Amino acid sequence: MPAKVNEESCTGCEACVGACPTEAIVMKEGKAFVTDECIDCGACVDECPVEAITME
Ligand code: SF4
Ligand code: SF4
């Protein structure tokens, strides 16, 4: 299942954006958002300093 960002936890640091191999994460109004390009690799999860990303 794709990655999901908890918007309440996300600080908008953009660390996850560069970690994604498919550029599936975009910033929307200061929060990270995972698009349909996600291939479920999980790379972004460990990259987030506030553990805002989970695999659903
Ligand atoms: S799980 Fe992988 S492909 Fe999906 S958003 Fe995270 S880094 Fe990108
Ligand atoms: S790494 Fe975490 S806190 Fe930073 S933009 Fe991505 S989801 Fe938000």
User: What are the tens digits of pLDDT across the range 13-52?
Assistant: 999 999 999 999 999 999 999 999 999 999 999 999 999 9
Amino acid at 33: F
Ligand 2 atom nearest 53 alpha carbon: 7
Question: Is pLDDT above 90 for 1?
Answer: no
How do the domains of the chain map onto residue ranges? 3-55
Phi, psi (5° rounding) for residue 5? -100, 130
**CA 15, chain centre distance (Å):** 8
**CA 8, chain centre distance (Å):** 13
- The rounded Å distance from CA 15 to ligand 1 centre is 12
Among candidate residues 53, 54, 55, the one with its CA nearest the CA of residue 14: 53
Domain 3-55 has CATH 3.30.70.20: yes
Residue-level pLDDT at 24? 98
- The rounded Å distance from CA 11 to ligand 1 centre is 18
**Of the residues 7, 50, 54, which should be mutated to test ligand 2's pocket, given the most ligand atoms within 8 Å of the CB?**
50
